Amino acid sequence: MALREIVTVGDDILRKRSREVAVVDDRIRMLLDDMEDTMRLDNRGVGLAAVQVGVLKRIFICDVGDGTGLHTFINPEILEKKGTVLSEEGCLSVPGKSGMVERPEFVRIRALDRHGDPFEMKAEGYLAICICHEYDHLDGILFTDKLVEENKTVE
């Protein structure tokens, strides 16, 4: 088990585009295990993207506590989005802030799992929100970029 340090705003790695994973090997699986430990034990988040531990790879994990457990996404593609919900978000990389963001209420996503095998899943509710929040990290986007108007002046 290993905890990794969470990168926070001010470090411009958070603004970079993460790169595709070429091969899902033991090194990637070790990174995934460290990300899970970091998310669960240290920081108690519901999701974490690799860039948040300083690794610019298109990888994220989510566990929103809905009983479906940990979901791992490598080289994810969002295939479909439906509906709109308002979501109150925070981010481990933006300590001390929260705010309302518009998200889809449903997503369909394709990715590779920790064995490098492709899968497709549908998600709604909090899991869909978390997937979109994490997916944004892969493109250097933070929830603070998307705050709905009335919250922009708060902080």
Coil vs helix vs strand at 74 = strand
Catalytic amino acids?
134
DSSP code string of 86-145: EEEEE-TTSTT-EEEEEE-SEEEEEEE-TTS-EEEEEEEHHHHHHHHHHHHHHTT--GGG
**If contact means CB under 5 to 8 A according to the sort of partner, which of Ni ion, ligand GNR, none does residue 89 touch?**
ligand GNR
- Cα–Cα distance for residue pair 82/33, rounded to 1 Å: 31
Degrees to nearest 5, angle at CA 73 with 72 and 76: 170
Draw the binding track, 69-108, toward Ni ion (x: CB under 5 A; -: no contact).
Answer: ----------------------x-----------------
For position 50 contacting Ni ion by CB under 5 A, the verdict is no
Residue range at the interface with ligand GNR (CB under 6 A); choices 18-26, 77-85, 112-120, 132-140: 132-140
For position 90 contacting ligand GNR by CB under 6 A, the verdict is yes
For position 58 contacting ligand GNR by CB under 6 A, the verdict is no
Contacts of ligand GNR in 26-55 (CB under 6 A): 45-49, 52
- Cα–Cα distance for residue pair 87/104, rounded to 1 Å: 10
The footprint of ligand GNR (CB under 6 A) covers 45-49, 52, 87, 89-93, 129-130, 133-134, 137
